[in-house]
Amino acid sequence: MPIPQDSEGLRLWLEGLPEKQRLANLRKLNPLQREELQYHWTLWARADQLPPAGPWRTWVVMAGRGFGKTRAGAEWVRDVAETNPDARFALVAASLGEARAVMVEGDSGLLTISPPDRGPIYEPSLRRLSWPNGAQATLYSAGEPEALRGPQHSHTWCDELAKWDNAGGRAGMAWDNLTLGLRLGENPQALVTTTPRAVPLLRRLLEGDDLAVTRGKTEDNHANLPTRFLSDIRRTYRGSLLARQELDGELIEDVPGALWSRSLIEACREPAASAPPVRTVIGVDPPASTGGDACGIVVCALGEDGLGRVLADASITGASPESWARAVANAARVWQADRVVAEANQGGDMVATVLRAAELSLPLRLVHASRGKVARAEPVAALYEAGRVRHAGQFPKLEDELCGLITGGTYQGPGRSPDRADALVWALTELLLKPRPQPRVWLA
């Protein structure tokens, strides 16, 4: 029987026979054929990693980490490039560094998955990949939307779109400039590979026309992932919103009536603090008992531009008073904090004693909660609405708690209590809502 040339024939030739016959068939291949076999993507791919049937303009692969999204994107680009010499790709990531490290040079990037004899030539200085038949791809950063204004493309692969910087609507501008230039050829197409997050741009794409969506979980790729890894991450994140988003590939929507929406937080996000701090405060929400709720420890700062910023979530779970006090002291040293604000409702003297025992020499202010957590949070949520707060980075567990605080006094987020969110509220209240003493001039 001759060696089949089509993918389905090869699959049956290798998989549809007893093991002895499969080995015999493999021995019929010469070294060059065996080498070529590993680059036969449709033979090895899962069905959910292959382009959907039927016409589509945008294909969104929205799945958990480790699903194989990057490999699916790179193989789609390779297939189009090898069959269409006129293809002109835009490869867009959150930054040029990520485009190069993941989409081009990564373990599942274009250089790695391409056959050596017909793979693309990469010219880093030009941000360009060129295939032997003439197809080309150019790298872009979503953080520089204006770079996408003008160039024309026939295809685009956008990686981790939910990570694109949305400060000032930058992510939306990058997408708009990209799609306005997606006008070469008879059938321009866009592939988006991303872990889902309820950011405005992803929601907008999912409401579009000519759309195909592939969803999946981390476990879908279990054959290529270490068993220990899968069991460890499930045990660590079991039942959390983070697991549903990062592992199960769910798009976590906003809870009706929540003080914070995910789109609001995304609008307030920046990759790193864009202004130096003039005052740094650590908010602490101590647990009521050892091994109980988390100790919320959140670092916030007032910038030179007058904006409050969330810099770090150093919260700790299941810790003794000595352990969480050391965590507070360590955060104070690392971030050079000017003050620690700690809730003292659960044993005020004990809170002060354990913090001072942890060699915490900076000013400590104990605060007593006279209102519920949600009531205290409402003025801080208003600061976000007014554009006076930024998140300098990603804080998934903290943000899940913020989005679980509901108007009217209820909490519908992860865990029994929003300890991280409460610590943030204490810190931002100290920085932005507490009246500051005004200088006085005494006349004789």
**Is the pLDDT at 347 greater than 60, yes or no?**
no
In total, how many domains does the chain have? Answer: 3
Indicate if 292 and 178 belong to the same structural domain: no
Indicate if 325 and 233 belong to the same structural domain: no
Indicate if 359 and 407 belong to the same structural domain: yes
CATH code where residue 293 lies: 3.30.420.240
The b-or-e profile of 374-406 (16+ CB within 10 A means b, else e) is bebbeebbebbeeebbbbbeebebbbbbbbbbb
Indicate if 34 and 95 belong to the same structural domain: no
- Which is more confident, 427 or 410? 427
Mean pLDDT computed over 191-214: 90
- Which is more confident, 235 or 336? 336
| pLDDT attached to residue 43 | 76
Indicate if 101 and 17 belong to the same structural domain: no
What is the end-to-end Cα distance of the chain in Å, rounded? 111
**Is the pLDDT at 442 greater than 70, yes or no?**
no
The answer to whether position 250 is within a domain reads: no
Mean pLDDT of the chain: 86
- 217 bridge partner residues: none
The answer to whether position 296 is within a domain reads: yes
The answer to whether position 318 is within a domain reads: yes
The answer to whether position 389 is within a domain reads: yes
Which amino acid, one-letter code, is at 101? A
| pLDDT attached to residue 263 | 82
Indicate if 19 and 89 belong to the same structural domain: no
Tokens 């204004």: give the residue. 149
Distance CA 235, CA 75 (A): 32
Mean pLDDT computed over 176-195: 96
Share of the chain above pLDDT 70, in %: 87
Nearest to 245 by CA among 202, 287, 294, 185: 202
The answer to whether position 441 is within a domain reads: no
Total Cβ atoms within 10 A of residue 169? 14
Mean pLDDT computed over 114-132: 94
| pLDDT attached to residue 379 | 94
Distance CA 100, CA 129 (A): 11
Mean pLDDT computed over 245-255: 79
| pLDDT attached to residue 322 | 82
Distance CA 298, CA 279 (A): 14
Mean pLDDT computed over 392-417: 86
**Is the pLDDT at 348 greater than 60, yes or no?**
no
**Is the pLDDT at 172 greater than 80, yes or no?**
yes
| pLDDT attached to residue 57 | 96
- Which is more confident, 425 or 416? 425
Indicate if 78 and 173 belong to the same structural domain: yes
| pLDDT attached to residue 355 | 73
Indicate if 174 and 66 belong to the same structural domain: yes
> Given 245, 277, 312, which residue is the final one in a domain?
245
The answer to whether position 40 is within a domain reads: yes
89-98, 235-244, 269-278: lowest mean pLDDT where?
235-244
- pLDDT per residue as tens digits for the range 72-92: 999 999 999 999 999 999 999
The answer to whether position 120 is within a domain reads: yes
CATH code where residue 239 lies: 3.40.50.300
**Is the pLDDT at 437 greater than 60, yes or no?**
no
| pLDDT attached to residue 254 | 74
Is there a contact between 321 and 350 (Cβ–Cβ < 8 Å)? yes
Indicate if 280 and 228 belong to the same structural domain: no
| pLDDT attached to residue 239 | 65
pLDDT band at 262 (very low <50, low <70, confident <90, very high): confident
Is there a contact between 333 and 323 (Cβ–Cβ < 8 Å)? no
- pLDDT per residue as tens digits for the range 221-231: 888 888 888 88
Mean pLDDT computed over 229-246: 76
Distance CA 414, CA 403 (A): 10
| pLDDT attached to residue 203 | 87
pLDDT band at 48 (very low <50, low <70, confident <90, very high): very high
Element containing residue 348 per DSSP (H, E): helix 348-357
Mean pLDDT computed over 386-403: 92
- pLDDT per residue as tens digits for the range 290-344: 556 789 999 999 999 999 999 999 999 888 888 888 899 899 989 999 999 988 7
- Which is more confident, 45 or 21? 45
**Is the pLDDT at 7 greater than 60, yes or no?**
no
- Which is more confident, 440 or 93? 93
Indicate if 54 and 203 belong to the same structural domain: yes
| pLDDT attached to residue 289 | 66
| pLDDT attached to residue 13 | 63
| pLDDT attached to residue 228 | 86
pLDDT band at 40 (very low <50, low <70, confident <90, very high): confident
> Given 245, 279, 297, which residue is the final one in a domain?
245
**Residue 309 DSSP code:** E
The answer to whether position 442 is within a domain reads: no
**Is the pLDDT at 216 greater than 80, yes or no?**
yes
| pLDDT attached to residue 280 | 97
125-134, 172-181, 227-236: lowest mean pLDDT where?
227-236
| pLDDT attached to residue 412 | 79
Backbone angles phi, psi at 301, to 5 degrees: -140, 150
Indicate if 278 and 216 belong to the same structural domain: no
**Domain range for residue 62?**
47-245
Indicate if 233 and 286 belong to the same structural domain: no
Is there a contact between 160 and 193 (Cβ–Cβ < 8 Å)? yes
